Structures are given as structure tokens and as C-alpha cells.
Amino acid sequence: MKKFFSIIAFLVTTVAAMAQELNCQVTILTPQIQTSDKRVFTTMQTAIYEFMNNTKWTGDKFLNEERIECTMQITINDRPSNDEFKGTIQVQSSRPIFKTSYNSPVFNFNDENFNFRYLEYQQLVFNETGNTSNLTNVLAYYAYMILGIDYDTYSPLGGTAYYLKAQTVINNAQAGAEKGWKAFEGTRNRYWLTENFLNPIFRPIRQLYYDYHRKGLDIMTEKKDDGVRAIADGIESLKSVHEDKPASLLMQVFFTAKSEEVVNIFSQAFPDIKAKVKSRLDEIDPANMNKYEKIMKGN
């Protein structure tokens, strides 16, 4: 009998130690909604939190401490009807760096086309093979994008399977009226974000996600100079992408997450590396040129 209970205890402990892939914090803001009863937004926040964190998104096993840290900030600007909401969603994720307590930002994207329907206490259901609802489509889409980018940082082009899953969500959503899914709607939406990640032209950026983290940040506690040079070489490799696709969405996405960290890394580099990296950054990411001035001022 004692052996039986020991086995049960082991199984319970083992299952508890395993976790879903995401540790996603969800915040819903309603700065322009004038109502005394905002309970629906509280239940909505809870429903989205549970959907993101309780859904099994991959076939891989994650320990609790291996879950991907991410956030979703949803700002609702309009409520045209009882179950209709219009706003934006900002998605961020980060990755732990080996032998440190530091989490490096890897994704930071603000989606301005987030319109959906939600009834209080409704169950959020996602169907990979169909177009269930725009709310769960968008949430699942970003779950797959977070996974794809995270996997890219651990192995070269490692996130392809999840970008393809995100692309399937896009394809399923084409029949809907909601914005953000179609190529002709603009150049900065969900369609083009995934297209860029899967387009061979942008492969140097995806390779940089790996080189920057595994060959760069992950070794810097023991081999700082080697790590800095690996990141510098990776940034240099983006010249070809800039020449082929100047001001591309994926280049903007990378540096929206990384520009401040890049400044911190190279502010302490050797003068020759500083000058080379600063020159390349000014060329390929002119939007953050003022930030990169700090590189030359660092000690």
C-alpha cells in the first residue's frame, strides 16, 4: 500500500513539474471606455490569461522554469455593442540568458488592429483548422509567433514550424472581415509579420536571433569579447537585408526589441568594434540613430 501511494505521489509531482509553454501576463486597459461597471473586462482578462497559459501549443515538454516569459497588453478604445470591442494589443516576450538572472527582450510588437467579440464568461475555443473567432485567432497567432522567435534563439531557424502554424491561422482568417490578416491592408500587420519571418530574403535576421543569443549573450559571462564580436558580426550580416528590403518590417521588429540592449552591449566594446557597429546600425536602423550615439560615449 505504501508503494502504491509512493507511485501516485511521484506521478502527481511529475505532472505538476511539467507546464505549458507560456507564462503570459495579461493586462486589459480601458482608458476611453466610460462605464461604471467594468466587470466584463476583469473576466475577459482572466479568460485570456487562462487561454494563453493553459493551452498546449506544442508537442514539446516544458518544465515550469522553462516557460517563455511574455506579456499581452490589450487597450480597448471602443465598445460599439455589448459583445463588440475595438482596440490594440501589444505583445512582448523575453528569453533567459545562461548563467545570469537577466532576461533579454526578443519580441515587442504593437498591433493596432484588434477588433473582436466577447461575451462575459464565454469559453475561449481555438480551432487550428477553422476560423472560430477573431479573439482566439489573434491570441493563438501571437502564441505561435512568440514560440517561433523563442525557438529561433536556441537553434538556427528553429522556429519555422511555429511560423507555419501562425501562417495557417492567417489563412483561416482570410474569410473574415476583421483587419490585420490581409496583405493589401498595409505593410505592418500580422500577414506581413509572418511573411517576413518565412521569406528567405530575411534569413540573416533569423540567423541573427540565434547568433545574438547562443553565440553572443549566452557566453558573455565567460567569454565576453567573443560574445560581443559574434553579435557585431551578426549585425554586420544585416547589410544585405537592408540593401534588398530597406525599412523592412522584420528589421524594425528586431530593433524595437533590441536597440537599447545593443547600446548597452557595445558601449563597453573596443573602440574599433564600436565604430564599425555604430556605422552599420545608423545605416540599417536609422529610426534609432539617436540611441546609437550613446555607443560612442560609453566607457
pLDDT at 16 over 80: no
Percent over 90 (pLDDT), the chain = 88
**DSSP characters over 213-253:** IIIIGGGTTT-HHHHHHHHHHHHHTTHHHHHHSTT-HHHHH
pLDDT value for 299: 57
pLDDT at 12 over 60: no
Span of 8-22, 27-41, 53-67, 182-196 with lowest mean pLDDT = 8-22
pLDDT at 13 over 60: no
Domain ranges for the chain? 17-198, 206-297
Residue 259 CA from chain centroid, whole number: 15
Q: In what order do the strands lie in the sheet with 68-81?
A: 22-29, 68-81, 84-96, 103-117
pTM, two decimals, is 0.93
pLDDT band at residue 132 using 50, 70 and 90 as cut-offs = confident
pLDDT at 174 over 50: yes
